[in-house]
Amino acid sequence: MFLRCLSVPTLAMLAVAGAQTQDAAAGGMAFQQCAECHSPGESNGAGPGLKGVVGRRAGTKADFVYSPALAKSELVWNDIALDNFLANPQKALPGTTMQYPGDDDPKERADLVAYLKTLK
């Protein structure tokens, strides 16, 4: 109903931003599939702790050893980069050591990104 009020250019902008409605609480539930490798805090597991990851340059947590693919990517983890990476890590960053097949649900990815934003 809300979408019906938006003009076509606005919808196009939303699509470009990959902007689904973001629900951090749902993202926290979805994060269970990440938690075997990632803590929401500073501590590292198989993957780096994800506190503060949104807005950070990819592959720059000082105490984690990244793959060259991630370390040299020059990505900054914004909404679009995260959405793209979580959809298919190997496709987004060939050679990444993140052993996660990807999440093909755009809404769930948006929720995950919303949750990651709460990790400050």
Catalog residues that contact ligand HEC under the rule CB under 6 A. 33-34, 36-38, 46-48, 50, 53, 58-59, 61, 66-67, 69-70, 77, 86, 96-100, 103, 112
Q: Please report how close the Cβ of residue 44 comes to ligand HEC at its closest, in angstroms.
A: 9
Which of residues 36 and 104 has its CB atom nearest to ligand HEC in the complex? 36
Q: Please report how close the Cβ of residue 91 comes to ligand HEC at its closest, in angstroms.
A: 13
CA distances from 16 to 2, 19, 44, 48, 106 (A): 18, 8, 33, 28, 13
Which of residues 11 and 95 has its CB atom nearest to ligand HEC in the complex? 95
Q: Please report how close the Cβ of residue 15 comes to ligand HEC at its closest, in angstroms.
A: 22
The CA distance from 49 to 59, in Å, is 11
The CA distance from 90 to 7, in Å, is 35
Say if residues 109 and 83 touch (Cβ distance below 8 Å).
Answer: yes
Q: What tokens does 110 get?
A: 């948006």
Which of residues 18 and 59 has its CB atom nearest to ligand HEC in the complex? 59
Q: Please report how close the Cβ of residue 109 comes to ligand HEC at its closest, in angstroms.
A: 8
**Residue 80 burial class via C-beta count within 10 angstroms: exposed 0-12, middle 13-18, buried 19 and up:** middle
Which of residues 79 and 103 has its CB atom nearest to ligand HEC in the complex? 103
